[in-house]
Chains A and B, each alone.
Chain A
Amino acid sequence: MTVYFLCVVLLTMGLYCLVAKKNIVKKVIGIVIMDYAVNLYLIIIGYKTGGVAPIIEADMPLSTLERFVDPLPQALVLTSIVIGLGVMSLMVAMCIRLYEKHGTFDMSVISKLRG
């Protein structure tokens, strides 16, 4: 159970970085940390005690299939990593463009709009 709890700790740390830090690159880092936490959470869900990677070899005894870890969360995480990379590159594009406009990464300087 402690493993899940540490994942949640990592998630809240990313969230904290997002809320408390003014620097937009720090905000990107916060999102990256949150992505890590969720990916790890998904893989841990699929882990089986004494499990092996779900890859079949030609001379493998049939009983090994019982020891395979859950392959579905791995498929989900693969997708999630790609999504994370895509969002990250979009964010970096926005950051560099914002820097061009304002000459700073400071959100409190950039923020002019009223919410």
Chain B
Amino acid sequence: MANIAPQLYALLVFMVIGSIVAIETRNLLSAVISVSAVGFALSVAFLFLGAPDIAITQLVVEVLVLIILIRGTILLDNTAVDTHRDTLAVVTSLIFFGLILGFGAMIFGSRGFPEFGEPVMRVSKVYVQTGLPATYAANIVTAVILDFRAYDTLGEATVLFTSILGALALLRREGKVSREEVVAA
């Protein structure tokens, strides 16, 4: 039994530090690159956690996110503006988030939540046991997303279709026809 906790903690700490850099740096290019580093660390964490499917997907999506963010936005304007640092708002939000964190620590420390490494797996047991004989797919994750829960995947494909269509609609040349053309038509 390999204990993955040390590696996982190291990755999580790396992710937290990377996020701090991404949030606080004043150069947008550095911010985007640090957030991508966080994404790659996440991908490695998925590998440790026994999710190679997700690791591959996260990796390729990360590459695409990096390219889109850099090509789409950073090349236009690279400076992170901070016109007037609203100290009061920052302090209030920090206190608020501190409260959330305290609350979260309380919840996860209580006995109401299953321990790390001991999932309930009430329904998933069925997937693991009958996945191969019922669907003939050796990859149980694929069996879940494309057979047991294929309807969700229809939704997933539709979400992507919707957002791409939305993005294409927003990037069209002119929003409105000029008034004269309408009158003429």
Contact = CB atoms under 8 A, between A and B. Distances in A.
- Do A and B touch each other in the complex, judged by CB within 8 A? yes
Interface of A: 1-10, 12-17, 19-23, 25-26, 28-30, 32-33, 36, 39-40, 43-58, 65, 68-72, 74-75, 77-79, 81-90, 92-97, 99, 104-106, 108-109
A53 B1 CA distance: 14
B119 A48 contact: yes
User: Dominant SS at the A interface?
Assistant: helix
A45 to B, nearest CB: 6
B42 A36 contact: yes
Contact of A5 (B93, B97, B104): B104
B145 interface: yes
A14 B156 CA distance: 24
A93 B167 contact: yes
Contacts of B3: 49
B134 interface: no
B136 to A, nearest CB: 10
Interface string B60-100: 01001100110011101100111110100110011001001
A33 B145 contact: no
